[in-house]
């Protein structure tokens, strides 16, 4: 059984379709989604539809939350706020209700999924360093948890202490806990423009990071045509 772990799609349809093609070529038959399906890029409805077609467990991201309500309750920068307003106007009432109904955390088989952190999932804190990871690990009751939100592929392991480890290929060892971020599909910020996701192989106990090239130019052109800020198109190419 191989899960594709999808996060921070952010309405980038070209990136999502490239990842789904890659995941199927890599024999993934199951999927989970760590939230922020919408926000920033130009295809929120289409991405929502693709994710719903997967019929997979999905948790709520902060952009999903803000897109599903009438007025922002979270402080966003100007560019993100403009994109959230645009996204609200381009989702149906039914789509917003679906987003609003998402839960903040879920357990899937023997692992947990969350968008931000397990300690305060609805406060949308970021796990960037060991201290952030320690707080989240306190509430982690499974060996493995996947999280998103930072758009950085990252992995932490807890044995006696908490350490950051390299993403790439992680073999899960008994007696240790793992907190892993697959990176972002639709808006990577680690200076690599390619879409990021993870594959979790349950039989082999391995989590493997993947990067996938996609039709960047089309995604950028759509942002321009939608009237979204040009900076959102530029940052896709820069991967930041
Ligand atoms: Zn995000």
Give pLDDT tens digits for 13-42: 999 999 999 999 999 999 999 999 999 999
Ligand 1 center from residue 126 Cα (angstroms): 11
Instruction: Give the separation between CA 82 and CA 85, rounded to whole angstroms.
Output: 5
What is the rounded average pLDDT for all residues in the chain?
96
Ligand 1 center from residue 28 Cα (angstroms): 23
> What residues pair up with 208 in beta bridges, in sequence order?
169, 199
Indicate if the pLDDT at residue 94 is higher than 90: yes
Q: Would you kindly state where each structural domain of the chain is located, as residue ranges? A: 2-238
End-to-end CA distance of the chain: 33
What SS3 class is residue 219?
helix
Instruction: Give the separation between CA 93 and CA 99, rounded to whole angstroms.
Output: 10
What's residue 74's pLDDT? 79
pTM of the model: 0.97
Ligand 1 center from residue 92 Cα (angstroms): 21
Ligand 1 center from residue 162 Cα (angstroms): 24
Instruction: Write down the CATH superfamily of domain 2-238.
Output: Metallo-dependent phosphatases (3.60.21.10)
Q: In degrees, to the nearest 5, what angle opens at C-alpha 81 toward C-alphas 78 and 220?
A: 90
Instruction: Give the separation between CA 37 and CA 33, rounded to whole angstroms.
Output: 8
pLDDT tens-digit series, residues 39-87? 999 999 999 999 999 999 999 999 999 999 988 887 888 888 899 999 9
Ligand 1 center from residue 109 Cα (angstroms): 24
Phi, psi of 169 (to 5 degrees): -135, 110
pLDDT tens-digit series, residues 209-220? 999 999 999 999
Q: Which two tokens stand for residue 190?
A: 């680690």
Indicate if the pLDDT at residue 189 is higher than 90: yes
What burial letters (b/e) apply to 129-157, b meaning 16+ CB within 10 Å?
eeebbbbbbeebeebbbbbbbbbbbbbbb
Ligand 1 center from residue 239 Cα (angstroms): 13
Q: Which two tokens stand for residue 230?
A: 């040009």
**Cβ pair 190, 234 in contact under 8 A:** no
Sheet holding 206-212, edge to edge: 30-33, 2-6, 195-201, 206-212, 169-171
Ligand 1 center from residue 182 Cα (angstroms): 12
By the CB criterion, residues less than 5 angstroms from ion ligand 1 are 8, 36
Instruction: Give the separation between CA 64 and CA 67, rounded to whole angstroms.
Output: 5
Ligand 1 center from residue 34 Cα (angstroms): 9
What SS3 class is residue 239?
coil
């Amino acid at each position: 059984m191989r899960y594709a772990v999808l996060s921070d799609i952010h309405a980038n349809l070209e990136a999502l379709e490239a990842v789904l093609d890659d995941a199927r070529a890599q024999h993934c038959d199951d999927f989970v989604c760590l939230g922020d399906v919408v926000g920033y890029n130009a295809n929120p409805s289409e991405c929502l539809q693709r994710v719903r077609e997967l019929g997979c467990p999905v948790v709520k991201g902060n952009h999903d939350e803000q897109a599903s309500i009438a007025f922002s309750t979270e402080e966003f920068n100007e560019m993100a706020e403009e994109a959230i307003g645009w996204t609200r106007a381009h989702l149906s009432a039914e789509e917003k209700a679906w987003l609003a109904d998402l839960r903040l955390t879920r357990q899937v088989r023997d692992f947990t999924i969350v968008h931000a952190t397990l300690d305060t999932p609805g406060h949308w804190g970021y796990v960037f360093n060991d201290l952030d990871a320690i707080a989240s690990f306190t509430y982690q009751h499974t060996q493995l948890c996947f999280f998103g939100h930072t758009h950085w592929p990252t992995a932490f392991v807890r044995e006696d202490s908490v350490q950051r480890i390299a993403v790439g290929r992680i073999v899960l060892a008994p007696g240790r806990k793992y907190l892993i971020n697959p990176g972002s599909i639709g808006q990577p910020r680690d200076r690599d423009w390619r879409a990021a996701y993870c594959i979790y192989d349950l039989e082999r106990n391995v989590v493997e990071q993947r990067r996938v090239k996609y039709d960047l130019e089309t995604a950028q052109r759509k942002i321009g045509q939608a009237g979204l800020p040009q900076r959102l198109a530029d940052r896709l190419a820069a991967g930041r």
